[in-house]
Structure 1
Amino acid sequence: YNGNSVTMRTWEDDGTGKTYEIDQPFRSYGSLSDSLADYAALMTSSTYAGTWKSNTSSYADATQALTGTYATDSLYASKLNSIVAYYGLTAYDQAPVTQTTGSTGSLVWNRYRGSYTDAETLSIDEAWASYKNYK
């Protein structure tokens, strides 16, 4: 990365659970879209191939692949797995419903996802969009 950065104090783990703090440069961007584009490029690099759905059999495999690469925290995988379990995030692992012909039944067009979803999902997406615009 050759762009701007900001130096922040960060908590690190030596891989054995022993922690320490250092000053570390973090990438800095001029816009949210630049940040998201760089993050997508980073996560699709071969460094993170172990996190790709095509290379894992479960989210636990992916979170384990992040430990020691994306995060130095030796408990990173277990912390992420706890969050996934607590909030039931595996519900989002299913491919989105896409309906191109026929009756939509109880589905509505969700412009945020580019597909038909239930009304509750659309409502959540609208709330997130409103929140992002508010900030």
Structure 2
Amino acid sequence: MMDMGVILENRQYLTTPTERDYLKKLEEWFGHYCAISCQVSPGRFLKFPEQDNFSDEERARFFTQFNAMSVDYVLVSRKNNKIICIIELDDKSHEQEDRIARDKRLEQLFDMAGVPLLRVSVNNMNTIPPVWERRKAVEARMGTQ
């Protein structure tokens, strides 16, 4: 495609204006304790180890599907570099059928892997999300610390 003269444009911003506003709040609430990354692919924090009942091709296809998605925010401990919580900021786009299906897949993946996920409505952007409580609940369920 590059040899055929494809046209590309710089999107300028990684996040929407609403996501930038919420990032400022997250940094205010958690920035002292957490580094906060935006628009992170789940492939950066999920792994699909070899398993006898899945071929390499099946594993690659599955990984490609969830790796193509992104989550809005990843909070990572400044102390030990562990993932504290994933936050998805839900706006009107999360009410579309395809987005609902995508969100359900992500929730299922994160639940299976023991990754703490919080869904925050744009209507609750001024409320501090319970990231520590969510992390502790997932750790207790998974039997990890």
Report if TM-score (shorter chain) is over 0.5.
Answer: no
TM-score, normalisation: structure 1: 0.26
Q: Radius of gyration: which is bigger?
A: 1
TM-score, normalisation: structure 2: 0.24
Report which structure shows greater RCO (CA 8 Å, sep ≥6): 2
